[in-house]
A and B are shown apart, each in its own frame.
Chain A
Amino acid sequence: MKETAQGIREPVRRTEVDPKCGMAVERNPTFREPTMKDRQLNVTRSLLRPARHPLHCIVPPHMLKEIVKRGDAAQKEWALETLAASARLRGNREILGELLGLFPSAGDEKVRTVYDARGGETLPGVRVRGEGDPTSKDEEVNEAYDGAGVTYDLYRKRFKRNSIDDRGMRLDSTVHYGENFDNAFWNGKQMVYGDGDGQLFNRFTIAIDVIGHELTHGVTQFSSGLAYQGQSGALNESISDVFGSLVKQYRAKEPAKRADWLIGAGLLAKGVKGVALRSLKAPGSAYDDPVLGKDPQPAHMKDFVKTKSDNGGVHINSGIPNHAFYLLAVALGGAAWTRAGQIWYRALQQFKPATDFQSAAGVTAETARGLYGSKSREEKAVIAAWKGVGIEI
């Protein structure tokens, strides 16, 4: 047995050149069932099974990846087998690592892995906690792990979504990224959190809505693919804030009217004049500090900020759809992840990359009508919420 870069134990395989295509192929490899460790690493039978399909020599990798994404179950399995075999034969660990991300987790279980960048910027870093592992001594590791778990649960239990991609994608997080790094981001594959500088910002895992926010960028990427520029970018940011806030409310089991509707409460270091980074309830009021400046978010279209920086103000104008969601959730009452959240989540699946605020408003009203009926209280509340931020449907 040998161990791969991902820590997977697998049998040594013999390879020969196939006379039909001139490529190396496996002969008589030993088959084994995936172990619990494999399952935690998202290794399914496909990665462990010998590949024998005659098309291995013909179909290029980019087409195989498309089949993995779009094919039916049998096609996906075949394409994964082929890619895995090809990667193994070429000794291409990078491709094998990429493949691991394409695999669904075993069943409906969440599969969380936390890595430690140890102050560097190489991702993902050193694996420090996997699914089911005992609590770490490192607070950030546990916060990233627990926050990803609550976010997964909200999407799974309340929105019937199977992880970020709705196909059981692994939830990978890296903590301790960079030196005094004042940011958290989604890199297209995983969440990344900085420690903060300690002067202005605390560690970025401190607030669970930060974790929900970053993970939701993944959900948006796999749903509508909202472009990260201008109004669609601000909508992208808003969706992350909305569901980040819902993650926090879901964990606290609090109704819309009791929630603080703040994003990043606890993230600002002691001495900074502010309560959070953003407020969905009162955009523009989260902080006013001599060093950080004043919260620039508008709550209404009349205050829409035209700027070239920040991809056209994606973190600024998100205040407008943020506030529309707040108005809707409070008007409908109860837990925000129920009716208001359902409308927003289902609308997100209908958004297009270029959807702007006006289009989003129309889609959310249509969604409310589809879910609760024409002229329903919910549809009227959606229309009123958007009107409250200056958008008439």
Chain B
Amino acid sequence: MKITLTVTGGFTGMGGKWEIEAGSEAAQRTAELQSLAQLIDQARAAGIFGKDYSVTEPQQTRADEIVRDHQMYELTVNGERMRWSEPAPAGATAIPSFVRELKQRIMRNTPRQPYQPL
């Protein structure tokens, strides 16, 4: 199971990418990565893939609720994707807490790589 996390935007404007093959030898080295598969199963069961949590209705967003320099995250598992924004825009559905947990574990335990998609 190939897991890819990317970030773009933010004040730095620097993209980043983290990749891990769940079940691989590297993934078995730390307890945090060993349990990734469980979190992914939880994510699938919650039906988060295919969703974009960064989307809001523009007409419902007031000027003083518009975030500048927000970061966009994308999580891909075997080709299934989900997106969210940090901070979340006003009126957007909050991401489930286990997505945040997934993100933290991936970022803590896998090396960051440059990422600048065109």
- A residues near B (Cβ < 8 Å) are 101, 121, 179, 182-189, 192, 200-201, 204, 210, 213-214, 217, 221, 225, 228, 236-237, 240, 264, 267, 277-278, 289-294, 296, 305-311, 314-316
CB-CB under 8 A from B62, the residues of chain A are 188
List B residues 1-43 near A (Cβ within 8 Å): 8-16
Report Cα–Cα, A240/B69, bound state, in Å.
Answer: 11
Closest Cβ–Cβ distance, residue A110 to chain B (whole Å): 20
Report Cα–Cα, A307/B9, bound state, in Å.
Answer: 12
Q: Do A184 and B11 touch (CB < 8 A)?
A: yes
Residue of A nearest to B70 (CB): A185
**Complex partner residue of A217 from B15, B16, B68, B86, CB under 8 angstroms:** B68
Residue of A nearest to B6 (CB): A309
Q: Does residue B118 face the partner (Cβ distance < 8 Å to A)?
A: yes
Report Cα–Cα, A287/B110, bound state, in Å.
Answer: 22
Please indicate which of the listed interface residues B90, B104, B118 has the most CB atoms of chain A within 10 Å of its own CB: B118
Q: Does residue B56 face the partner (Cβ distance < 8 Å to A)?
A: no
Closest Cβ–Cβ distance, residue B68 to chain A (whole Å): 4
Also in contact, A264 and B9, with CB within 8 A (given A291-B111, A291-B114, A306-B118): no
Closest Cβ–Cβ distance, residue A234 to chain B (whole Å): 10
A-B residue pairs in contact (CB < 8 Å), sample of 19: A121-B87, A183-B10, A184-B69, A185-B11, A186-B69, A214-B11, A236-B68, A264-B11, A264-B12, A277-B13, A292-B112, A293-B14, A293-B116, A294-B114, A296-B116, A307-B118, A309-B72, A310-B9, A310-B72
CB-CB under 8 A from A184, the residues of chain B are 11, 69
Also in contact, A185 and B114, with CB within 8 A (given A213-B11, A310-B9, A315-B13): no
Q: Does residue B63 face the partner (Cβ distance < 8 Å to A)?
A: yes
Residue of A nearest to B61 (CB): A188
Closest Cβ–Cβ distance, residue A345 to chain B (whole Å): 18
Closest Cβ–Cβ distance, residue A266 to chain B (whole Å): 13
Report Cα–Cα, A314/B38, bound state, in Å.
Answer: 37
Residue of B nearest to A189 (CB): B64
Q: Do A185 and B64 touch (CB < 8 A)?
A: no
Report Cα–Cα, A187/B8, bound state, in Å.
Answer: 17
CB-CB under 8 A from B16, the residues of chain A are 292
CB-CB under 8 A from A309, the residues of chain B are 8-9, 15, 72, 117-118
Report Cα–Cα, A213/B12, bound state, in Å.
Answer: 11
Q: Do A277 and B12 touch (CB < 8 A)?
A: yes
Residue of A nearest to B113 (CB): A291
List B residues 48-97 near A (Cβ within 8 Å): 62-72, 86-87, 90
Q: Does residue B98 face the partner (Cβ distance < 8 Å to A)?
A: no
Please indicate which of the listed interface residues B14, B64, B111 has the most CB atoms of chain A within 10 Å of its own CB: B14
Q: Do A188 and B13 touch (CB < 8 A)?
A: no
CB-CB under 8 A from A183, the residues of chain B are 10-12, 69, 71, 86
